[in-house]
Amino acid sequence: MNAFQGQGSAQPTETTGGDGGVVLYCANHPETETYLRCNKCGKPICLKCAVLTEVGYRCKECIREQQNVFYNAMTYDNWIAFGVAAGITMVAWPIVSLLLGMFPFFGFIIAALIGSGAGASLGQIIRKSVGKRRGRYIRHFTMAGIFTGFLLLVAITLIWFPATAVAVSLPGLLFAVLAMIAAWQFLRW
Ligand SMILES: [Zn+2]
Ligand SMILES: [Zn+2]
């Protein structure tokens, strides 16, 4: 019974495919049969190659093309973001960290209140300095810039002011974490 049903359901599927002549072969996998087409370029694509978008199935090539139109940043924009982030970090961190560290208790409250805003402002400055162009990696370079700014500050402090410790206060760290999260989210295009 089971075997008969199994055969019965398997055969029509095969014949329909053969008779209809509508079986397509994936453009990237010539051996894979498919019924799907990319709804932009019309190329036959198998399930592995298809990407479901808001407007239907598309091939990877069409999606990449779309992204390339969307991401219009130049390579040097990444480095602008990197430099601006490093520069702002080096100027702002010593001041912010010192000020927040002066008020052990209120420092935390102030850090929590202004951290995210400061991060968003940094994101805004960076977006402006790259001419509002959209880039895949701008926020990665921004984060790298912030870390590099920190490291340079540490290096400078150790070389020129070896007696003083790098001004790191706990409220300052909270501020830095909040600011970096906000900047990261702000720079998501
Ligand atoms: Zn396509
Ligand atoms: Zn395929």
In a domain, 78, yes or no: yes
Same domain membership, residue 107 and residue 151: yes
Same domain membership, residue 83 and residue 32: no
In a domain, 10, yes or no: no
Q: Which ligand is nearest to the CA of 42?
A: 1
Q: Which ligand is nearest to the CA of 41?
A: 1
Model confidence over 139-149: pLDDT tens digits?
999 999 999 99
Same domain membership, residue 156 and residue 117: yes
Mean residue pLDDT of the chain comes to: 85
What is the rounded distance in angstroms from the CA atom of residue 136 to the CA atom of residue 117? 23
Distance 63 CA to ligand 2 centre (A): 15
Find the mean pLDDT for residues 146-159: 90
Same domain membership, residue 139 and residue 105: yes
Ligand 2 is an ion; residues with CB less than 5 A from it: 26, 28-29, 46, 48-49
Domain of 47 in residue numbering reads as 17-69
Same domain membership, residue 42 and residue 120: no
Same domain membership, residue 82 and residue 63: no
Distance 6 CA to ligand 2 centre (A): 28
In a domain, 12, yes or no: no
Q: What is the dihedral of CA 45, 48, 52, 58, to 10 degrees?
A: -30
Same domain membership, residue 118 and residue 39: no
What's the pLDDT score for residue 4? 39
pTM over 0.85: no
What is the rounded distance in angstroms from the CA atom of residue 69 to the CA atom of residue 147? 30
Model confidence over 54-106: pLDDT tens digits?
889 999 999 999 888 889 899 999 999 999 999 999 999 888 888 888 887 88
Distance 161 CA to ligand 2 centre (A): 61
In a domain, 36, yes or no: yes
Distance 50 CA to ligand 1 centre (A): 9
What is the rounded distance in angstroms from the CA atom of residue 103 to the CA atom of residue 20? 78
Domain count, the chain: 2
